[in-house]
C-alpha cells in the first residue's frame, strides 16, 4: 500500500485499518525509521486493530512525515495521483498489466469523472474487440495494432502519466483539438474523421480526435510547454 492509494481510499471512505497498517509496513521496509510509523506498523501484530487507535497514530504519521491529506474538493486530483502511482508501479514491474487495467476499469466504473479515464476504457474496448473478432466498433489504438496487450497497456500508462502533468481541456479526451490553433471542439468523438473545419482558425482537416492514442501523441508534442 502506497500513500496515493491510501489517500484515495480514505477519501472514498473505503480505507480499512489494515490498509493503514500495510502502508506503515511498506514504509518500514523502505527504511523509514519514524517512531509513529513504527507504532502504526506494530498494529500488524493485532488481528483486529482498533480503528480509532489506528486513526490516531496514522494522523501522527501524517504530521511527522509532513504529508497532506486531500480534501473532498480534491477528489479528481487525488484519483489522478493514484492513477499515476498505478502506472509507476506497472512500469517498475510491481504490478502486472492485467492488474493495472483492472484497477483503471474499476475506477472508470465509479463514474465518468475524471474524463481522462476514458483512455483506459477505450483501451479495454480495443482489447475486447481484439479478443472477439471481427472488430465491430471504433479502434482507438490502431497505430499499435502489432503490439501485445501488455505493450499497449504500458504505452497507455506512459501517456496517462504525461497527460496528468499538463493542463487539459474539460472532458479531455472526449474532444477534438485543432493541431494548428489548439481550438477545442466537442462534437461526436466516436468517429475518426472530422468533416468540418476548425471552429477557431477555419483550417480544414486540422481537428484531431483525442480519443485516439496517436492523436494524443501529436497533441503532447505540440509546443515546448507540453514536453515533460
Q: Does 205 bind Zn ion (CB under 5 A)?
A: no
For Zn ion, which is the closer residue by CB, 97 or 200?
Answer: 200
- Under rule CB under 5 A, residue 201 binds Zn ion: yes
How far is residue 80's CA from residue 41's CA, in Å, rounded to a whole number? 27
Closer to Zn ion by Cβ: residue 67 or 181: 181
What's the grid cell of residue 176? 477534438
Q: Which of 37, 183, 210, 215 binds Zn ion (CB under 5 A)?
A: 183
Site string for Zn ion, 130-169 (x = CB under 5 A): ----------------------------------------
79-118 burial by CB neighbour count: b if 16+ within 10 A, else e?
Answer: bbbbbbbbbebbeeeebebeebbebbeebbeeeeebbbbb
Region of 34 on the Ramachandran plot (φ > 0 left; ψ -120 to 50 alpha; else beta): beta
Piece in contact with Zn ion (CB under 5 A), picked from 10-18, 49-57, 114-122, 175-183? 175-183
Question: Does residue 180 belong to the site contacting Zn ion (CB under 5 A)?
Answer: yes
The order of strands in the sheet holding 207-209 is: 184-185, 176-178, 207-209
Task: Measure the CA–CA gap between 121 and 104, rounded to whole angstroms.
Answer: 8
| Shortest Cβ 7–Zn ion spacing (Å) | 39
To Zn ion, the closest distance from the beta carbon of 203 in angstroms equals 5
When the beta carbons of 181 and 205 are compared against Zn ion, the nearer one is 181
178 lies in the site for Zn ion, by CB under 5 A: yes
Distance of CA 51 to the CA centre of its chain: 29
**97 near Zn ion, rule: CB under 5 A:** no
We find the least distance from the C-beta atom of residue 207 to Zn ion, in angstroms, to be: 8
Cβ-based burial of 13 (10 A; exposed 0-12, middle 13-18, buried ≥19): exposed
Q: Which residues bind to Zn ion, rule: CB under 5 A?
A: 178, 180-181, 183, 198, 200-201
Amino acid at each position: 500500500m502506497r500513500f496515493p492509494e491510501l489517500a484515495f481510499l480514505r477519501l472514498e471512505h473505503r480505507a480499512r485499518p489494515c490498509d493503514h497498517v500495510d502502508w506503515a509496513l511498506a514504509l518500514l521496509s523502505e527504511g523509514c525509521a519514524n517512531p509513529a510509523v513504527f507504532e502504526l506498523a506494530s498494529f500488524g501484530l493485532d488481528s483486529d486493530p482498533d480503528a480509532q487507535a489506528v486513526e490516531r497514530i496514522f494522523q501522527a504519521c501524517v504530521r511527522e512525515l509532513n504529508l497532506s491529506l486531500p480534501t473532498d474538493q480534491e477528489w479528481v486530483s487525488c484519483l489522478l495521483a493514484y492513477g499515476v502511482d498505478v502506472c509507476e508501479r506497472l512500469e517498475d514491474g510491481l504490478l502486472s498489466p492485467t492488474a493495472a487495467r483492472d484497477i483503471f476499469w474499476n475506477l472508470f466504473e465509479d463514474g465518468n469523472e475524471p474524463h481522462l479515464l476514458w483512455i483506459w476504457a477505450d483501451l479495454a474496448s480495443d482489447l475486447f474487440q481484439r479478443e472477439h473478432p471481427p472488430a465491430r466498433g471504433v479502434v482507438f489504438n490502431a497505430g499499435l495494432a502489432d503490439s501485445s496487450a501488455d505493450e499497449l497497456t504500458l504505452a497507455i500508462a506512459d501517456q496517462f502519466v504525461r497527460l496528468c502533468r499538463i493542463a487539459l481541456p474539460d472532458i479531455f479526451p472526449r474532444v477534438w483539438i485543432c493541431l494548428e490553433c489548439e481550438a477545442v471542439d466537442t462534437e461526436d468523438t466516436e468517429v475518426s474523421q472530422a468533416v468540418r473545419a476548425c471552429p477557431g482558425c477555419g483550417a480544414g482537416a486540422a481537428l484531431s480526435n483525442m480519443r485516439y492514442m496517436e492523436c494524443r501523441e501529436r497533441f503532447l508534442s505540440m509546443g515546448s510547454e507540453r514536453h515533460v
